[in-house]
């Protein structure tokens, strides 16, 4: 079994992969790529935090039916904002949120972006969704919805 490669190793190897053989390369190195299904990643955080799915969804501000579809895997690719809202509802830390975003294929929060910077602040300070949206509106930034 091949050892898990670092990001630097994977990056360097890009220069040596020939067109037409990427699929073979990908199969041989599948264990080095980070990816997790969103529903599993969210449920893992919910279990770690010791909260119920209902509580996480309620705190997220997402409509219950849509929230359950995300957690059940029936809504496999929700918008990035919905994933952020779920992380907030779960009570995830900033680091947990960033890690979840990365391993599930979503762009993590970029603190050089004005809106993402505020969202990072809100997550670090455990602000509820309603307060986050009020402040986003005050800053003339798109609310989480």
In the structure, what pLDDT confidence band is assigned to residue 119 with cuts at 50, 70 and 90?
very high
In a domain, 143, yes or no: no
CA dist., res. 99 & res. 92, Å (int): 10
Range of the domain at 131: 38-138
CA dist., res. 86 & res. 124, Å (int): 15
The yes-or-no verdict on residue 31 having pLDDT over 80 is no
Which residues does 46 contact at the CB level (< 8 Å), separation at least 6?
A: 52, 53, 56, 71, 90
Q: What pTM, to 2 d.p., does this model score? A: 0.80
- Do 29 and 78 share a domain, yes or no? no
pLDDT value at residue 29: 77
Q: What are 27's two structure tokens?
A: 């199969």
- Do 70 and 57 share a domain, yes or no? yes
In a domain, 145, yes or no: no
In a domain, 79, yes or no: yes
What average pLDDT does this structure show over 52-56?
A: 98
Tokens 């079994």: give the residue.
Answer: 1
In the structure, what pLDDT confidence band is assigned to residue 108 with cuts at 50, 70 and 90?
very high
- Do 16 and 86 share a domain, yes or no? no
Number of domains present in the structure of the chain: 2
In a domain, 127, yes or no: yes
User: Cα dist. 53→2, 33, 125, 136, 144 in Å?
Assistant: 37, 28, 22, 26, 20
């Amino acid at each position: 079994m091949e050892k898990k490669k670092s990001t630097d190793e994977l990056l360097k190897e890009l220069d040596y992969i020939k067109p037409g053989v990427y699929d073979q390369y990908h199969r041989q190195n599948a264990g080095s790529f980070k990816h997790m299904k969103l529903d599993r990643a969210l449920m893992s955080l919910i279990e770690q935090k010791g909260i119920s799915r209902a509580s996480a969804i309620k705190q997220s501000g997402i409509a219950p039916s849509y929230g359950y579809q995300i957690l059940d895997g029936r809504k496999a690719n929700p918008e990035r904002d919905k994933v952020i809202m779920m992380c907030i509802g779960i009570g995830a830390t900033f680091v947990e949120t960033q890690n979840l975003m990365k391993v599930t294929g979503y762009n993590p929060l970029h603190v050089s972006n004005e809106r993402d910077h505020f969202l990072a602040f809100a997550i670090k300070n455990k602000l509820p969704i309603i307060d986050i949206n009020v402040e986003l509106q005050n800053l003339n930034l798109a609310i989480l919805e």
